[in-house]
Amino acid sequence: MIVYLTGGVRSGKSSFAMELALQKSQHPVYVATSRIWDEDFAKRVKRHQDERGPEWASLESEKDIHLLPLTGKVAVIDCVTLWLTNLFVAFEFDIEKSLAAFKAEIDALVKIDATLIIISNEIGMGVHAETEAGRKFADLQGWANQHVAAVADEAIMMVSGIPLTLKSMK
């Protein structure tokens, strides 16, 4: 089962995802996709780590998330934006290669017998990027989000801490 969770920065995505995971499992897994780019980002990562209790297992992977031991687990994958950044850099800012690699990973995740709560950001709803690379990335993020939402069993958008159901199996 794939639960897609999207929204803006500080919309409550991670907290909601962690609560949802704890409702579904006593021992969920947190999959961190980020690289530590600078000191400010290290502080953000530390805050996320401090929010999780001892019931959480943690895995870290910048890409190839589908190769992690997730079978039979409830896992929060946080987040698509950072995961895409890693692919975008690895493929030297090539949108087509980055998107193809991302879609292949998502399609492989769908086949795993697990409950995966995949967090993403809606960056296209914000300020228009000033740089060409920024505009390319916003496009990549939008297409990636569409793909995850299409294959997801459920899709939820967080706005000001409030979950809005976009798609539901119910």
- Specify the pTM: 0.91
CB 11 within 8 A of CB 156: no
d(CA 47, CA 78): 13
Active-site residue numbers?
48
Question: Cα 48 to the chain's mean position, in Å?
Answer: 14
Total number of domains in the chain: 1
Tens digits of per-residue pLDDT, 124-149?
776 777 888 889 999 999 999 999 99
**27 DSSP assignment:** S
* Position with higher pLDDT, 8 vs 98: 98
Q: Is the pLDDT of residue 2 over 80?
A: yes
Range of the domain at 89: 2-167
Tell me the percentage of the chain whose pLDDT exceeds 70.
98
H-run or E-run covering 122 = none
Share of residues in the chain with pLDDT > 90 (%) = 74
Is 168's pLDDT higher than 80?
yes
User: What per-residue confidence (pLDDT) applies to 170?
Assistant: 62
Mark 17-34 as b/e (b = at least 16 C-beta within 10 Å).
Answer: bbebbbeebeebbbbbbb
Between 133 and 95, the higher pLDDT residue: 95
CATH number at residue 103: 3.40.50.300
Q: Choose from 30-34, 78-82, 117-121, 166-170 the range with maximum mean pLDDT.
A: 117-121
